[in-house]
Amino acid sequence: MKLIYQSGLRIFKSTMITPLRKFEKFTKTNLFKSILVVTGATDGIGKEYARELARQGLNLVLISRTKEKLIAVTNEIESQYNVKIKWIVVDFAKGREVYDQIEEELNGIDVGILVNNVGMIHDPETLDKVSEDTLWDLLTVNMGSVTMLTRKILPQMIGRRKGAIVNLGSSSELQPLPNLTAYAASKKFITHFSKGLEYEVADHNIHVQLVMPNFVATNMNAYSDKVRQGGLLFPNAYSYARSAVFTLGKTSETNGFWVHGIQYALMKLAPMQIRTYFGNQLFKRLRIEALEHRQKKQNLY
């Protein structure tokens, strides 16, 4: 009963109370003043985080691997809002070498908010059938980027005694996910990294937020037509980001979207073994859907 009460309170606080409050522009607060840096900023949730905070008046630094997309997103957002945008082309899958470039490009820029959004996933598949190259890239991007980019930017936030770090994790961290074994494990890393960091920087007036979405209708879930179609359980990136941004500065942990908060809380009530069993059954079906999706694409060519 206590667990049910705590879960309900968590949902109400992180996904219901905050959206009902009058939203204050981040530029009017000491905590969030200055520049927003977003990784994985040309698609999905990252792009919509950038758009939403540009709407609030923040200048942006967008980081992604495709120059053409960065230019397109920059032009799109600048045409909508009176903000300045700098973009940086890097491929986080290259590992350590990209961070010196990012540090040099950010020299002299006061970063107020860092959104560690970049990540990758593979179609549902058993580990033995996922290529080694894909696994190395997944681990390097999903865990390396959040760790090393935070390490690069954190000293300036500590020096100014203000800032916010937003880490995009996933509800998949809640239990092992067979057929997405490495991906779910990498998201558990982000959970523990975020919660440990939160305590480390609390005395420096730095806010760390862990965001754990469930399915969002983005290109990352292209293997599932049902998810891509969207709906109540599968918000699009625009709706999800607007909801998640409302919680920034008000809670250190959120699922970002009210339906996802309910799903997460209900799943958490079940024992780990039960959650893993149902996760296994779900992604077995999604694995078949992904195989069928690939087959259809191959038949088109």
Q: Which one is catalytic: 49, 81, 99, 183?
A: 183
The CATH number covering residue 153 comes to 3.40.50.720
| Domain range for 135 | 2-299
pLDDT per residue, tens digit, the chain (301 aa), is: 554 445 555 555 544 444 444 344 443 444 455 689 999 999 999 999 999 999 999 999 999 999 999 999 999 999 999 999 999 999 999 999 999 999 999 999 999 999 999 999 999 999 999 999 999 999 999 999 999 999 999 999 999 999 999 999 999 999 999 999 999 999 999 999 999 999 999 999 999 999 999 999 877 666 666 666 666 778 999 999 999 999 998 999 999 999 999 999 999 999 999 999 999 999 898 888 878 766 766 655 5
Give the residues across from 72 on adjacent strands: none
Tokens at 10, concatenated: 């968590």
| Sheet of 253-254, strands arranged across | 85-89, 59-64, 35-39, 111-116, 163-168, 206-211, 253-254
Dist. CA 227–CA 234, nearest whole Å: 6
| DSSP for residue 21 | S
The neighbour count for residue 275, using CB atoms within 10 Å, is 17
- 49 labelled catalytic: no
Q: Give the count of domains, the chain.
A: 1
φ and ψ at residue 34, rounded to 5 degrees: 110, -130
Q: How far is 177 from 124, CA to CA, in rounded Å? A: 10
Q: Give the burial class of 64: count Cβ atoms within 10 A of its Cβ; 0-12 exposed, 13-18 middle, 19 or more buried.
A: buried
Query: Residue 95 gets which letter from DSSP?
Result: T
Composition of the chain by helix, strand, coil, percent to 5: 60, 15, 30
Residue 242, token pair as written in the block? 């607007």
In 40-99, where do the E strands start and end?
A: 59-64, 85-89
219-252 residues labelled b (16+ CB within 10 A) or e (exposed): ebbebbeebbebeeebbbbeebbbbbbbbbbebe
Write down the pTM of the prediction.
0.86
Neighbouring C-beta atoms of residue 154, cutoff 10 Å: 19
Cβ atoms of 233 and 259 within 8 Å: the answer is: yes
Angle at 51 between CA 227 and CA 78, to 5 degrees: 135
